[in-house]
A and B are shown apart, each in its own frame.
Chain A
Amino acid sequence: MPLITNTAATSSRSETVSNDVTQNLDSFTCPLPIPARDRILLGHGSGGKLSADLLAKVFLPALGNPVLDRLEDQAIVSLRDSRLAISTDSFVVKPLFFRGGNIGSLAVHGTINDLAMGGAVPLWLTAAFILEEGLPIETLQRVVVSMRDAAADAGVQIVTGDTKVVEKGSADGMFINTTGIGLVRDGITLSASQARPGDCIIVSGTLGDHGIAILAEREGLQFETEIRSDSAALHTLVADLFHATHEVRCLRDPTRGGLSSTLNEIAASSGVGIELEETSIPVHEEVRGACEMLGLDPLYVANEGKLVAIVAAHAAQKALQALQNHPLGKEARIIGRVITEHPRMVVMRTPFGTTRIVDMLAGDQLPRIC
């Protein structure tokens, strides 16, 4: 859930803001006290249950307001007759360069997508860099050039920025935060709380490509693969979808935490059950192989160029066609439907006719030992 990076990034942007945040924190009492010895674990950033915990126990009690409390991928605020979508996201990917992209293109695509998932046309981006002392300037240049190209391809402008340098060892080469502003289309209101029994669940393509492309390049794990990150800006795909139908209830991009986290959030937010068909879920053969080898489940692996659409049943075929006619949605499929049974749970129908739960991750997905 980008909201976590959202609030954290905002509070660290300048000293004035961070002081305000501290005062706010002092004046609030948390409904669920956190033991003093608890610390941030890597799992708090995984987009699963621990991330949700942090929102519920730290961020929302302190910072909650009607806009933030919606917990969508973007904030939507009204300004005179327009509705603006605002989203912010921090990028800490390691390695900085990977097959199919780099931290720069990812930072542009990621924030554009968070705006697009709110039904907005993305217009402007900001870019803030936290650089580690000793980083080769040539590396920074390559990243910035690819940000320029990604923004130009997507038709958005990077209009302001910031640079901070920290001591060697205090950051992992480079972190980037991008904030985006877009204009929400008239007549469109999307929300994870709008899924209704009978709706179809559509995914725009294969799952797990980004996460596996990154893992393949991690130290100690290197394996040969043709898998490329799917990092891409999805706003034109969304535009085509809305051109075909306005019967879309919710759009989400299943980034960290994967499809399972996204669908669990929607099920919880709408108070409905979700049933998936295992045989309809598109996963590249190579991704499936890598997941088998590493003991991972593609449903929990990150994507950076895919969307999940919850669409009214009668409009599902039209929506599917529109997605499949776009280069980024060729492998789109209907993978399941919204149901009334077992509310707030995602359940998978196996090819054997049995069912199992698709749960949210408790922490980071860990490789199993044997």
Chain B
Amino acid sequence: MKYLDEYRDAKIATALAAEIRRRSTRPWVLMEICGGQTHTLMRYGIDDLLKDSVQIVHGPGCPVCVTPLETIDRAIALARRPDVTLVSYGDMLRVPGSDTDLFHVKAEGGDVRVVYSSMDAVELARKLPDRQIVFFAIGFETTAPAHAMVLLRAEQFGLSNFSLLVSHVLVPPAIRTLLNSPHNRVQGFIAPGHVCAVVGFKEYEELVREFHVPIVVGGFEPVDLLEAIHLLVVQLEERRAEVENQYTRSVQYQGNRPAQAAVGRVFEISDRKWRGIGKIPVSGLRLKEKYAAFDAERIFDLQGISAEEPKECISAEVLLGMKKPTECSAFGVLCTPEKPLGAPMVSTEGACAAYYQYRRHLVTV
């Protein structure tokens, strides 16, 4: 398959790994941001391949994982209403709220539907004019344009039975929080390619200037990630700190202007809570006042629902790269993908779940 096979080529990958090992004079600590990248690193055992040359820690880039507990509780409250059809991406259904998850609400009779494309939610609203269709709009900068387009489409159709439950987060403020932490050990970042395909990487240049830390925009296949790691190691060895773009087949400096425009029309930047981390200033998107009529939180008066996360979970330290999932005493014992204690065990893209799913055999739990 073109654009896949060449980026999974074992010969290229092992040659790159050898070159990284050759260049690296000490175990640099690097972080990948995106959950998709975490998934690839674990699936192909890339961290294992580089274990003495590079230490890879996993960032807060799984949108499912960082969606706050209270937002999940709000989605559950909506799904339990007899007049509401809650429409969601599939992997949100398993995410535990305070006392249940959407799968169970569905089994109890709640109308919960899974779609691949958010546009299907608008189609559903047109088909079912007597029901309130709420789309659970979560994600990073990557999914924001699609969700903006969906809302604009609903507006164009004059739909009064369609709304969004928004939980959108932004990557650069999370990196900034991490770099400002006195416990930070990360020396270089692999920036998320898909996010940068939308927003470009100008903002990452500001981070590089401010913190003198190298950032490489990386793709999602094993050769992409090895190339990105190689670029980071070379920068670190040469004491440089720049933004470099490894994922040139998808990412341009300016990003995707029409997508940015759609997001700008509908959303504005706001403070956001991140599951496992807490509130990060200016790290999210919310609907503009103009679109209040499409905001499920306001229509259904959900703001009163709040929740506290379980204390035994060390997810903040994992999501900020301070600890490996396997350093948690609950890992694989009290906390498994079937019964997750916290955010990173929830989705396959979460760091703990990726370790559990792919690397358990190398760990003595």
Q: Does A133 contact B (CB under 8 A)?
A: no
CB-defined interface of A338-370 with B at 8 Å, one 1/0 digit per residue?
A: 000010010100111111110100110011111
Query: Could you pull out 17 A-B pairs where Cβ atoms are within 8 angstroms?
Result: A39-B104, A39-B107, A43-B103, A220-B117, A347-B361, A350-B44, A351-B10, A352-B14, A354-B45, A357-B358, A362-B94, A362-B338, A366-B91, A367-B114, A369-B64, A369-B92, A369-B143
From 37 to 66 in chain A, residues with beta carbon under 8 angstroms from any chain B beta carbon are 39-43, 49
Q: Does A81 contact B (CB under 8 A)?
A: no
Would you give the shortest CB distance from A252 to chain B, in whole angstroms? 22
* Structural contact, A370 and B194, CB atoms closer than 8 A: yes
Given A292-B1, A359-B357, A369-B138, also A354-B48 (CB < 8 A) = yes
Query: In the complex, which residues of chain B have a beta carbon less than 8 angstroms from the beta carbon of A351?
Result: 8, 10, 13
From 110 to 145 in chain B, residues with beta carbon under 8 angstroms from any chain A beta carbon are 114-117, 120, 138-140, 142-143
* Structural contact, A356 and B45, CB atoms closer than 8 A: yes
Going nearest first, the 3 A-B pairs with the smallest beta carbon separation are A354-B45, A351-B10, A366-B90
Beta-carbon nearest neighbor of A359 in chain B: B357
Of the listed residues A292, A357, A369, the one surrounded by the most CB atoms of chain B closer than 10 A to its CB is A369
Query: In the complex, which residues of chain A have a beta carbon less than 8 angstroms from the beta carbon of B142?
Result: 370
Given A362-B337, A363-B94, also A42-B45 (CB < 8 A) = no
Cα distance A362–B345 when bound, in Å?
12
CB-defined interface of B1-38 with A at 8 Å, one 1/0 digit per residue?
A: 10010001010011001000000000000000000100
Known interface pairs A352-B10, A354-B49; 5 further A-B residue pairs with C-beta atoms within 8 A, sorted by A's residue number: A40-B107, A353-B14, A354-B45, A369-B138, A370-B142
Given A43-B103, A370-B139, A370-B194, also A354-B357 (CB < 8 A) = no
Main secondary structure of the interface of B (DSSP, over half): helix
Q: Does B359 contact A (CB under 8 A)?
A: yes
Query: In the complex, which residues of chain A have a beta carbon less than 8 angstroms from the beta carbon of B104?
Result: 39, 41
* Structural contact, A357 and B91, CB atoms closer than 8 A: no
Residues of B in contact, count (CB < 8 Å): 51
Cα distance A39–B45 when bound, in Å?
37
* Structural contact, A354 and B91, CB atoms closer than 8 A: no
* Structural contact, B91 and A367, CB atoms closer than 8 A: yes
* Structural contact, B1 and A289, CB atoms closer than 8 A: yes
Partner of B91, one of A40, A49, A369: A369
From 216 to 274 in chain B, residues with beta carbon under 8 angstroms from any chain A beta carbon are 222
CB-defined interface of B40-59 with A at 8 Å, one 1/0 digit per residue?
A: 00111110110000000000
Q: Does B327 contact A (CB under 8 A)?
A: no
Partner of B42, one of A288, A352, A356: A356
Which positions in B face A, CB cutoff 8 Å? Answer: 1, 4, 8, 10, 13-14, 17, 36, 42-46, 48-49, 63-64, 89-94, 103-104, 106-108, 114-117, 120, 138-140, 142-143, 194, 222, 337-338, 347-349, 357-362
* Structural contact, A355 and B116, CB atoms closer than 8 A: no
Q: Does A294 contact B (CB under 8 A)?
A: yes
* Structural contact, A288 and B337, CB atoms closer than 8 A: no
* Structural contact, B63 and A370, CB atoms closer than 8 A: yes
* Structural contact, B14 and A370, CB atoms closer than 8 A: no
Would you give the shortest CB distance from A250 to chain B, in whole angstroms? 22
* Structural contact, A41 and B107, CB atoms closer than 8 A: yes
Q: Does A159 contact B (CB under 8 A)?
A: no
Which positions in A face B, CB cutoff 8 Å? Answer: 39-43, 49, 220-221, 285, 288-289, 292, 294, 342, 345, 347, 350-357, 359, 362-363, 366-370
Would you give the shortest CB distance from A83 to chain B, in whole angstroms? 38
Would you give the shortest CB distance from A351 to chain B, in whole angstroms? 4
Query: In the complex, which residues of chain A have a beta carbon less than 8 angstroms from the beta carbon of B349?
Result: 368
Beta-carbon nearest neighbor of B348 in chain A: A368
* Structural contact, B116 and A352, CB atoms closer than 8 A: no
Given A352-B222, A362-B338, also A369-B44 (CB < 8 A) = no
* Structural contact, B361 and A355, CB atoms closer than 8 A: yes
Cα distance A89–B238 when bound, in Å?
64
Query: In the complex, which residues of chain B have a beta carbon less than 8 angstroms from the beta carbon of A42?
Result: 103, 106-107
* Structural contact, B361 and A363, CB atoms closer than 8 A: no
Query: In the complex, which residues of chain B have a beta carbon less than 8 angstroms from the beta carbon of A357?
Result: 357-361
Cα distance A239–B91 when bound, in Å?
42
Query: In the complex, which residues of chain B have a beta carbon less than 8 angstroms from the beta carbon of A366?
Result: 90-91, 93-94, 114
Would you give the shortest CB distance from A293 to chain B, in whole angstroms? 9
Cα distance A186–B104 when bound, in Å?
48
Would you give the shortest CB distance from B33 to chain A, in whole angstroms? 13
Would you give the shortest CB distance from A66 to chain B, in whole angstroms? 30
Cα distance A289–B142 when bound, in Å?
22
Beta-carbon nearest neighbor of A354 in chain B: B45
Query: In the complex, which residues of chain A have a beta carbon less than 8 angstroms from the beta carbon of B143?
Result: 369-370
Would you give the shortest CB distance from A214 to chain B, in whole angstroms? 15
Cα distance A186–B4 when bound, in Å?
49
Cα distance A292–B8 when bound, in Å?
13
Cα distance A93–B361 when bound, in Å?
36
Cα distance A65–B249 when bound, in Å?
60
Cα distance A49–B356 when bound, in Å?
15
Query: In the complex, which residues of chain B have a beta carbon less than 8 angstroms from the beta carbon of A347?
Result: 361
* Structural contact, B91 and A368, CB atoms closer than 8 A: yes
* Structural contact, B361 and A220, CB atoms closer than 8 A: no
Query: In the complex, which residues of chain B have a beta carbon less than 8 angstroms from the beta carbon of A39?
Result: 104, 107-108
Query: In the complex, which residues of chain B have a beta carbon less than 8 angstroms from the beta carbon of A220?
Result: 115-117, 120
Would you give the shortest CB distance from A127 to chain B, in whole angstroms? 30
Given A220-B120, A368-B348, also A350-B45 (CB < 8 A) = yes
Would you give the shortest CB distance from A354 to chain B, in whole angstroms? 3
Cα distance A342–B120 when bound, in Å?
44
